[in-house]
């Protein structure tokens, strides 16, 4: 019984991860499919051709590259801007807090189609704008900020200020305190905000569609391709990104392990 | 240096400035235009004219309150489900994840690397009428002989839940991760059972994360349209679908704008009630 | 005296720092390369900016290039910026109407819109398309007769067909007996919950009107009402599972659907997944629709017209027809293709016989523009 109790949580967590990742498993599996036609619906045979010919679909690689560039940049900028807002909201009293909160919630509540269309209208009224990378990036930063604010705010609310005060009592100046005490403690929240922004950006369709000009991001490409059949190379690309991200984190873990070992010795 | 000394009270405003200016220019201004549009009347053919058409809002509410209610319901259900699934998951990562925490976090957002359409196609494969899941449910008697999972409200809510899971899981994880495990140990030293320790120590401390996750899930889910479009029938249409239809197919921009504001107002009201109910600034800032 | 940073000062600096961090957001942005395209009268532009639907042009799988475009580039010395960013008439229109309503250029010389939705005629009616330079398109004589005088552009001043497609009924013979009519599709109880229809009314209501004995190219209010009511009843009862775009293809090939309203070209592509699938024009008639090339306002008329002329060369049209697997509007393409690929030239779905063509109908363009009809249809779709 104790065995069950102790491992119930783990079992649940594994089930939850399975739920999250089973579709990914299917995507990965179908990247090895050998479909005769344009569609990739039924399993027809194992092949490595799609992997060998991973770049075989015109425009796919460019679309993915564009999406990644924008996602990385947008999530970093949005995280910085959002974290600052979160700090201001939690640590300071100031006029207009309620209004600020509303401004933060509104973008999340605005339906994408009107969000994208009205942003497009803004761009059209400012004639210097070139549609493409810039406009997409601006839009993505805009809708990601709110998510970062809410995420980081939650962490800052529970933050124990006495740790900072203790550090300063021990002679650390403001900057050192921030760098060595505050930042590490809110780092998980900042990372979470970054990840959420990245996810939002790399998956966005509607707002991007309006403001992309003739540029094509990965979601736009896939949505368009779906008209006539999504090529397996799309699965290949998704799999590659997934594996790269995982490997990155695995390396991160191993690297940390190395650093810790000498200390343990 | 002197500048900083002289302008102490400015700090919060300086912190807010970059982000708020960004939002002001790239969100509020477009929103203003949207508001202007919502008070126009006319059609695409003859043109739109701004004439303080407040009637638009009344018409919208009258005609579409059912869709609004349905959207809020679906979003609410999805949020609840996401909470139930995410909380134990976040707990496990925070307390048992060890050095693999960040890796596990990345795995939570991994589904977003393959776009929405691909994820949904994968689910359609899993939940296909001829597939194993439906087969199992039919054998178990949960579904009728001709029962299906796809093209039902179940599928729509499941789709919304799945797509917003990271938005619930990550904030909860952040809150749980911050909890000092020694507090829990202390509770147990004081003869609390594990369940009591959880209920009295962990849960309350994780509430800011739960609130954050709820907001990040419910608010965007209410405006979702894509899950209802691909996984539902006309009976599951959400307000997002109506807005899409008004904008793209009926070329009724004022209509789309009006409905959008109606949705936003409904969501804001619900948030205000929720935040009030949940408690003090300690939880919501 | 050593100055100590107070927390406030620190945050102030952070705030300014953040402002700087945002700058790379702008600086890193290199706007999309927009090569100047204006050619002027009878002068070819440097680049032809062509927006089209995905998989709607011939592609060489090995080289990843598009042969007809490559030949065009070489022959005329014009670069082609080919973007597959149209995946829905309504969405594309929603995107470009912003610029067009402000008199701004859409940065495109050619776009392709379908004639069975209102947006094509809307663009023409609003003056948002450029007139074709017919002097540059002598090959326009190769346009098949049936396409010469469409309702939305009677003299072909603004548009030229790209490819056509037909709407009919597809079914899975493993799961059902042949379904050859709308009556069967809607009334056969064994199909309940396992059929879908298309979500645009030209296709679906067109077929239903035909089944009711009415003419879809001249729709009366009564005919409309009967057809609409019929669809609504089938939807309410659960006979119709969903209203789909082309996302019927997955469920059809996987067996979730027994039959559905479907487009001709899709079935050709689905056969490798499920070779048994069948598609046919319903007993009472099917619908035909055509994707048309138009020049959005501000596009380079001469260069676009030269390209259109190129496409109407039977040899080129043959290659396109073979690559795209939809119906070509160019006379002589079938014969040209028969020389190099007689198998494909015989494919009824790509080169339908006159008999087949006599069974398909066009939708009434006025019905497409009727706002009330559109609203009623959207209501059936759930909105």
Closest chain B residue to A84 measured between Cα atoms? B15
Q: How far is B144 from chain A (nearest CA, A)?
A: 24
pLDDT value of position C40: 56
pLDDT value of position A260: 63
d(CA B90, CA A213): 39
Range of the domain at A132: 57-228
Q: How does pLDDT run across B152-173, given as a tens digit for each residue?
A: 999 999 999 999 999 999 999 9
- Quick one: what percent of chain C has pLDDT higher than 70? 89
Inside any domain, residue A75: yes
DSSP C27: H
Both A84 and A146 in one domain: the answer is yes
More confident call, A212 vs B194:
A212
Q: How does pLDDT run across C105-161, given as a tens digit for each residue?
A: 898 999 999 999 999 999 999 999 999 999 999 999 999 988 899 989 999 999 999
- Examine the pLDDT at B217 and tell me if it is beyond 90: yes
Alpha-carbon torsion, ordered A44, A47, A53, A58, to 10 deg:
10
Flag whether residue C148 sits within 8 Å of chain B, measured between CB atoms. no
Contacts of A4 in chain B (CB under 8 A): none
Q: Tell me, what's the ipTM?
A: 0.89
* CATH number for the domain whose boundaries are B65-284: 1.10.3720.10
Q: State whether C256 and B129 contact (CB < 8 Å).
A: yes
For residue A157, the cross-strand partners are: none
pLDDT value of position C8: 47
Q: Please identify, in words, the CATH class of the domain defined by C166-288+362-381.
A: alpha beta
Point out the residue among C11, C241, C243 whose CB comes nearest to the CB of B15.
Answer: C11
Both A77 and A45 in one domain: the answer is no
Point out the residue among A44, A210, A215 whose CB comes nearest to the CB of C95.
Answer: A210
Q: State whether B18 and C15 contact (CB < 8 Å).
A: yes
Flag whether residue C383 sits within 8 Å of chain B, measured between CB atoms. yes
pLDDT value of position C280: 92
Closest chain A residue to B96 measured between Cα atoms? A10
- Quick one: what percent of chain C has pLDDT higher than 90? 63
pLDDT value of position A146: 95
* Helix/strand/coil for B14: helix
Task: Quote the distance between the C-alpha of residue A112 and its chain's center.
Answer: 18
Inside any domain, residue A255: no
Quote the crossing angle between the two packed helices A112-125 and C89-101, to the nearest 10°.
30
Confidence class for position B23, pLDDT limits 50, 70, 90: very high
Flag whether residue A165 sits within 8 Å of chain C, measured between CB atoms. no
- Examine the pLDDT at A262 and tell me if it is beyond 80: no
Q: How does pLDDT run across A68-93, given as a tens digit for each residue?
A: 999 999 999 999 999 999 988 888 87
- Examine the pLDDT at C32 and tell me if it is beyond 70: no
Closest chain C residue to A223 measured between Cα atoms? C87
**Domain locations along chain C:** 47-164+290-351, 166-288+362-381
**Domain locations along chain B:** 65-284
Could you tell me which chains touch chain C, where touching means 3 or more CB pairs under 8 A? A, B
Could you tell me which chains touch chain B, where touching means 3 or more CB pairs under 8 A? A, C
Confidence class for position A57, pLDDT limits 50, 70, 90: confident
Inside any domain, residue A246: no
Closest chain C residue to B239 measured between Cα atoms? C383
For the domain that residue A69 is a member of, what is the CATH number?
1.10.3720.10
Confidence class for position B8, pLDDT limits 50, 70, 90: low
Residues 6+ apart with CB under 8 A from B177: A188, B94, B101
Q: How far is A112 from chain C (nearest CA, A)?
A: 13
Point out the residue among A23, A155, A191 whose CB comes nearest to the CB of B111.
Answer: A23
Q: The tokens of C171 are what?
A: 């079914």
Pick the range with the lowest mean pLDDT from B101-110, C37-46, C279-288, C362-371: C37-46
Point out the residue among A56, A227, A229 whose CB comes nearest to the CB of C87.
Answer: A227
Flag whether residue C1 sits within 8 Å of chain B, measured between CB atoms. no
Point out the residue among A102, A222, A246 whose CB comes nearest to the CB of B118.
Answer: A222
Q: Please identify, in words, the CATH class of the domain defined by C47-164+290-351.
A: alpha beta
Flag whether residue C55 sits within 8 Å of chain A, measured between CB atoms. yes
Both A111 and A171 in one domain: the answer is yes
Residues 6+ apart with CB under 8 A from C158: C124, C129, C130, C131, C132, C294, C295
CA atoms within 13 A on the CB side of C49: 24
Q: State whether A94 and B13 contact (CB < 8 Å).
A: yes
* Mutate which: B36, B112, B183, vs A, most A CBs within 10 A: B112
Q: How does pLDDT run across C306-355, given as a tens digit for each residue?
A: 999 999 999 999 999 888 888 999 999 999 999 988 888 888 888 888 88
Query: A–B: how many Cβ contacts below 8 A?
Result: 290
- Examine the pLDDT at C225 and tell me if it is beyond 90: yes
| Domains C47-164+290-351 and C166-288+362-381 alike in fold | yes
Closest chain B residue to C88 measured between Cα atoms? B248
Q: State whether C251 and B249 contact (CB < 8 Å).
A: no
Q: How far is C128 from chain A (nearest CA, A)?
A: 17
Both A79 and A195 in one domain: the answer is yes
Q: State whether A114 and B91 contact (CB < 8 Å).
A: no
d(CA A85, CA A153): 9
Q: How much of chain A is helix, strand and coil, in % rounded to 5?
A: 75, 0, 25
Q: How does pLDDT run across C145-157, given as a tens digit for each residue?
A: 888 999 899 999 9
Q: Are C238 and C193 in contact (CB under 8 A)?
A: yes
* Helix/strand/coil for A45: coil
Give chain C's end-to-end CA distance (angstroms, integer).
Answer: 71
Q: What is the pTM of this model?
A: 0.88
More confident call, B11 vs C279:
C279
CA dist C96 → C35, C45, C314, C340 (Å): 19, 22, 32, 40
* Helix/strand/coil for B136: helix
Confidence class for position C10, pLDDT limits 50, 70, 90: very low
- Examine the pLDDT at C25 and tell me if it is beyond 70: no
Per the structure, how many domains does chain A have? 2
Both A65 and A32 in one domain: the answer is no
Could you tell me which chains touch chain A, where touching means 3 or more CB pairs under 8 A? B, C
Point out the residue among B125, B130, B234 whose CB comes nearest to the CB of C243.
Answer: B234
Q: How does pLDDT run across C48-69, given as a tens digit for each residue?
A: 999 999 888 988 877 778 999 9
Q: Are B15 and C15 in contact (CB under 8 A)?
A: yes
Point out the residue among C12, C250, C255 whose CB comes nearest to the CB of B14.
Answer: C12
Q: In 10 A of CB C64, how many CB atoms? A: 15
d(CA C373, CA C200): 12
Both A45 and A63 in one domain: the answer is no
DSSP C62: T
pLDDT value of position C371: 92
pLDDT value of position C22: 47
DSSP string for A13-24: HHHHHHHHHHHH
- Examine the pLDDT at C37 and tell me if it is beyond 70: no
- Examine the pLDDT at B136 and tell me if it is beyond 70: yes
């Amino acid at each position: 019984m104790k065995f069950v109790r102790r491992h119930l949580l783990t079992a649940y967590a594994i089930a939850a991860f399975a739920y999250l990742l089973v579709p990914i498993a299917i995507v990965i599996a179908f990247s090895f499919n050998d479909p005769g036609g344009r569609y990739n619906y039924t399993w027809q045979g194992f092949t490595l051709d799609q992997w060998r010919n991973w770049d075989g679909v015109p425009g796919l690689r460019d679309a993915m590259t564009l999406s990644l560039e924008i996602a990385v940049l947008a999530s970093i900028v949005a995280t910085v801007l959002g974290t600052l807002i979160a700090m201001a909201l939690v640590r300071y009293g100031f006029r207009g807090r309620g209004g600020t909160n509303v401004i933060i919630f509104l973008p999340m509540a605005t339906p994408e189609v009107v969000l994208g269309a009205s942003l497009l209208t803004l761009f059209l009224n400012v004639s210097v704008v070139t549609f493409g990378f810039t406009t997409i990036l601006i839009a993505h930063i805009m809708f990601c900020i709110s998510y970062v604010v809410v995420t980081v705010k939650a962490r800052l609310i529970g933050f124990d200020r006495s740790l900072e005060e203790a550090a300063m009592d021990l002679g650390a100046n403001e900057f050192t305190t921030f760098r060595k005490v505050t930042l590490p403690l809110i780092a998980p929240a900042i990372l979470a905000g970054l990840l959420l922004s990245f996810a939002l950006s790399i998956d966005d369709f509607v707002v991007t569609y309006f403001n992309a000009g003739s540029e094509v991001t990965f979601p736009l490409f896939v949505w368009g391709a779906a008209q006539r059949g999504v090529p397996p190379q799309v699965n290949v690309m998704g799999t590659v990104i997934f594996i790269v991200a995982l490997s990155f984190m695995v390396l991160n873990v191993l690297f940390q392990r190395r650093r810790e070992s000498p200390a343990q010795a | 240096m002197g500048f900083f000394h002289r302008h102490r009270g400015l700090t919060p405003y300086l912190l807010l400035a970059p982000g708020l200016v960004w939002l002001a220019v790239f969100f509020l201004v477009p929103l203003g235009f949207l508001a202007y549009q919502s008070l126009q009347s006319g059609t695409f053919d003859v043109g739109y004219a701004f004439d303080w058409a407040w009637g638009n809002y009344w018409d919208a509410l009258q005609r579409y309150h059912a869709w609004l209610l349905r959207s809020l319901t679906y979003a609410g259900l999805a949020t609840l489900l996401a909470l139930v699934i995410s909380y134990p998951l976040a707990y496990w990562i925070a307390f048992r994840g060890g050095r693999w925490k960040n890796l596990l976090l990345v795995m939570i957002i991994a589904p977003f690397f393959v776009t929405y359409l691909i994820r949904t196609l994968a689910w359609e494969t899993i939940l296909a009428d001829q597939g194993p899941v439906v087969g199992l449910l039919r054998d178990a008697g949960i579904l009728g002989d001709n029962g299906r999972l796809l093209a039902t409200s179940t599928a729509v809510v499941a789709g919304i839940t799945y797509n917003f899971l990271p938005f619930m899981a990550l904030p909860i994880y952040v809150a749980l991760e911050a909890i000092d495990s020694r507090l829990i140990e202390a509770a147990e030293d004081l003869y609390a059972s594990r369940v009591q320790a959880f209920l009295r120590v962990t849960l309350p401390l994780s509430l800011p994360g739960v609130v954050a996750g709820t907001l990040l899930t419910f608010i965007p889910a209410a405006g979702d349209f894509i899950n209802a479009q691909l996984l539902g029938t006309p009976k599951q249409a959400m307000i997002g679908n109506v807005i899409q239809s008004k904008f793209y197919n009926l070329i009724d921009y004022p209509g789309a704008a009006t409905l959008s504001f109606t949705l936003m107002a409904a969501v804001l009201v619900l948030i205000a009630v929720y935040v009030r109910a949940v408690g003090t600034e300690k939880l919501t800032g | 005296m050593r100055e100590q940073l107070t927390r406030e000062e620190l945050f102030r600096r952070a705030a300014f720092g953040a402002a700087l961090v945002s700058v790379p957001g702008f600086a890193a942005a290199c706007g999309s390369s927009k090569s100047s395209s204006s050619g002027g009268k009878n002068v070819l532009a440097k680049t032809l900016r062509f927006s089209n639907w995905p998989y709607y042009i011939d592609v060489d799988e090995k080289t990843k290039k598009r042969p007809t475009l490559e030949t065009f580039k070489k022959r005329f010395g014009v670069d082609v910026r080919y973007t597959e960013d149209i995946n829905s008439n309504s969405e594309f229109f929603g995107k470009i109407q912003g610029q067009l309503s402000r008199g701004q250029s859409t940065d495109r010389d050619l776009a392709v819109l379908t004639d069975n939705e209102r947006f094509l005629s809307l663009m023409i009616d609003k003056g948002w398309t450029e007139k074709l330079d017919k002097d540059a398109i002598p090959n326009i004589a190769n346009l098949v007769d049936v396409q010469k005088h469409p309702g939305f552009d009677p003299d072909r001043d603004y548009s030229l067909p790209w490819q056509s497609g037909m709407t009919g009924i597809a079914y899975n013979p493993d799961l059902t007996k042949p379904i050859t009519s709308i009556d069967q599709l809607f009334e056969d109880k064994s199909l309940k919950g396992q059929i879908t229809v298309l979500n645009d009314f030209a296709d679906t209501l067109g077929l239903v009107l035909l089944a009711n004995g009415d003419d879809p190219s001249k729709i009366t209010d009564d005919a409309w009402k009967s057809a609409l009511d019929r669809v609504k009843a089938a939807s309410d009862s659960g006979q119709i599972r969903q209203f789909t775009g082309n996302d019927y293809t997955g469920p059809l090939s996987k067996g979730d659907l027994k039959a559905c309203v479907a487009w001709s070209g899709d079935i050709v592509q689905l056969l490798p997944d499920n070779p048994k699938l069948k598609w046919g024009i319903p007993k009472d008639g099917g619908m035909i629709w055509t994707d048309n090339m138009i020049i959005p306002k501000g596009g380079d008329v001469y260069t676009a017209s030269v390209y259109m002329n190129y496409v109407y060369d039977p040899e080129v049209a043959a290659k396109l027809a073979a690559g795209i697997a939809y119906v070509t509007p160019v006379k002589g393409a079938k014969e040209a293709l028969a020389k190099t690929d007689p198998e494909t030239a015989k494919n009824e779905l790509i080169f339908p016989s006159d008999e087949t063509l006599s069974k398909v109908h066009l939708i009434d363009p006025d019905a497409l523009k009727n706002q009330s009809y559109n609203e009623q249809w959207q209501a059936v779709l759930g909105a």
